[in-house]
Structure 1
């Protein structure tokens, strides 16, 4: 018997595989790292020119910096020190800078308890945790050409200079994370996010698609309303190595990032498989089912019809959405979920049920996690308590199974037509 170490939570999981099982390992392409990337702010004129254009006293300027919540693996300890040094070089003090945690529809948490935020940030700067339902702190800015009402955090909009700091990687329906998305969705009101995310059911709303992705193009338009000035975005590979850091105009940053991200994560697949074992990629990608579901989207693309996807995700914080759990109580099949959507009902949180349902009409989905088995069943997934035993039993029943193991399924994007 051979074994494979799967990313699972923070510690991993050793998957034992019976001899003779037909296994194909699928992972993003390997990229050699030439050097540790940094932004050369000494040659940067962008921030200087913006400050000059504002024609205000330095002491009167305010700067808003959007950062992601704990579900996004952004290397802030690497990105923020140099950025802040650059900002402070113009004579801007700590009290003139405010950080905004871009929670989107995620539940806001106390900033000082957030372990993903460096301690020196928590000790020296004001931090505001965005709440998409706090209408007092949300400002209406207009409507996009696709009919999305644009509501953005009022305090962020009041800042003279607006910066988004995040990570760019494939996103299963927005095409890519990063760019203006951290503000356009992360600091948006619920109405904005709800209307935008209704576009996820379109065929072109998929990973690594930008130009013809209506959901992503709507995000870009929301971003223009936000008047976001700059982005500082990192690109990391599947092993968490920092590949590139980009600084500048949001559109230019994303345009430079896309070919790099595609080279890192688009993966050629020769054929489909009976069974796909899909690790979400460990913590924080598998912090909850809400995040880990993205792995199923990619795994389903390489699974035969009526086949099986086994999602390997610790889900230490459960489903990640009480609204999703409560919504699922009224359904007994994925077809019922789709039927309700077709009647015009769509909600954030419960939209995860719809994403699962579209897949479950074509194949089976099992979950190996730390979640309570009854909760897993209520979500119309079948729980797997012992993955090694399950694989062995499956092999005994059919020794001709073709099995794929996706080691980083959230960011492994099957290349169509490969």
Structure 2
């Protein structure tokens, strides 16, 4: 069967033998909204769990609106196009509004990328700024969370009279689902906060996984942190495979988020009738597959349905290479992922306080590597030669990788195909039921 993997901005066609195919595993049909702008406007007037935004904004002189960075395909121009006039009509002056890009610890979005993020009109007429997680002095100390996380949140948000978070609800490899509270932590948290909240004591918990909220310490803790920082209103959306809006969820931070999660879970959860030997997946295409760091989400997404010793084949363009210098340096320092895990869990007495920014993504990759081999496919030639240093093997094409996997696992191997990668949540049927 021929199918198209989400890859870069163009997609990548590939073929898998029909006799081996499980799937394709795709987002369930959810009709896109006929008039998403009207739906957003209506959600601001009739939100879940709180008064209309116009009432919340009345009498406020400053507002901070959090938006996702370029790695998330959020329709920011659509959302801000309704939020901003509502705030100004309620009396919040334009010069009192800050649109803060919740970069977390990612690089800033500037120039043409900023225009792509919010649209030319908003970029030209509103204050749009980046969060810088490494600059502790630009954060406010809000104490310590119940599990011992030091809370440092961007002061531009903390000091605002009205606090709003936008975003996208989709499966997330650590926090269960993105959206809601996640724009606050890690979105505008300092490195000192994220290094603890993303530490092994949280990420090694069995419930710190895709699609799980109940009993997930990552989710529970950043919800607590977002409450502590304050969040007056959220505006979240769900998207289909073509990035069209399928749902709008606005209002009180937790109620509206859980309403969105309930909708998303029905759409993204795809039951599989038993473990598979091979998965062919993607990193969801642009903007998520710009680097190796983000592509790891495609690996963790299929892990719940993989057999022990299975093969994951992932296609990702990765035009920006590995990721941050700190992340890339971990592969140089630790040729074996087992040695890396020994260091971050404190089992190496010579490195009792070992920490490197972005180590959490390699920790997630290590979970995959303990169970499966990983094969990457990319046509971005400048990066392809680096793959052999990243604990994975490379293949010239999906078809050649599939042929090698069949030689390893047998002619009757079950091959799951997940074209949209981490936007889909494959689940073993026994677990889903």
Does TM-score exceed 0.5, indicating one fold? yes
- Classify the TM-score, shorter chain: over 0.9
Q: Secondary structure at the match of 2:180?
A: coil
Structure 1 residue 415, shift from structure 2 partner:
2.8
1:173, 1:393 → 2: CA distance? 31
CA offsets 1:337-365 (integer angstroms, 9 cap, x no match): 22222326343312222211222122201
1:396, 1:293 → 2: CA distance? 25
Structure 1 residue 20, shift from structure 2 partner:
4.9
Alignment partner, residue 65 of structure 2: 65
Matches within 5 A, 1:101-250: 101-110=101-110, 113-114=113-114, 115-198=116-199, 199-250=202-253
Q: Secondary structure at the match of 2:222?
A: helix
TM-score by length of 2: 0.89
Unaligned runs of 5+ in 1: none
CA offsets 1:270-318 (integer angstroms, 9 cap, x no match): 1111111111221112121211111111212212111100111111111
Alignment partner, residue 353 of structure 1: 362
Q: Does 1:388 align with 2:394?
A: no
Structure 1 residue 367, shift from structure 2 partner:
0.9
> Contact 1:174–1:215 at 8 Å: present in 2 too?
yes
Structure 1 residue 145, shift from structure 2 partner:
0.3
> Contact 2:54–2:86 at 8 Å: present in 1 too?
no
Q: Secondary structure at the match of 2:278?
A: strand
C-alpha change, 1:16 and 1:112, in structure 2 (3 Å) is closer
Q: Secondary structure at the match of 1:185?
A: coil
Alignment partner, residue 322 of structure 1: 325
1:42, 1:299 → 2: CA distance? 39
The total of aligned residue pairs comes to 411
Q: Secondary structure at the match of 2:197?
A: helix
Q: Secondary structure at the match of 2:156?
A: helix
> Contact 1:36–1:242 at 8 Å: present in 2 too?
no
Structure 1 residue 332, shift from structure 2 partner:
2.6
> Contact 1:273–1:403 at 8 Å: present in 2 too?
yes
Structure 1 residue 173, shift from structure 2 partner:
0.9
Matches within 5 A, 1:332-351: 332-343=335-346, 345-351=354-360
C-alpha change, 1:396 and 1:296, in structure 2 (3 Å) is closer
1:19, 1:175 → 2: CA distance? 32
> Contact 2:176–2:213 at 8 Å: present in 1 too?
yes
2:57, 2:245 → 1: CA distance? 30
Q: Secondary structure at the match of 1:29?
A: coil
1:293, 1:313 → 2: CA distance? 10
Unaligned runs of 5+ in 2: 347-351
2:46, 2:181 → 1: CA distance? 24
Structure 1 residue 117, shift from structure 2 partner:
1.9
Structure 1 residue 151, shift from structure 2 partner:
0.3
2:140, 2:31 → 1: CA distance? 45
Matches within 5 A, 1:88-103: 88-103=88-103
Kindly indicate which of the two structures has a greater share of residues assigned to helix. Answer: 2
Structure 1 residue 111, shift from structure 2 partner:
5.7
Q: Does 1:378 align with 2:389?
A: yes
1:270, 1:346 → 2: CA distance? 40
Alignment partner, residue 349 of structure 2: none
Q: Which moved more, 1:40-49 or 1:331-340?
A: 40-49
Alignment partner, residue 50 of structure 1: 56
C-alpha change, 1:154 and 1:350, in structure 2 (3 Å) is same
> Contact 1:18–1:392 at 8 Å: present in 2 too?
no
CA offsets 1:49-81 (integer angstroms, 9 cap, x no match): 4345xxx5x6xx011111111001101122111
TM-score by length of 1: 0.92
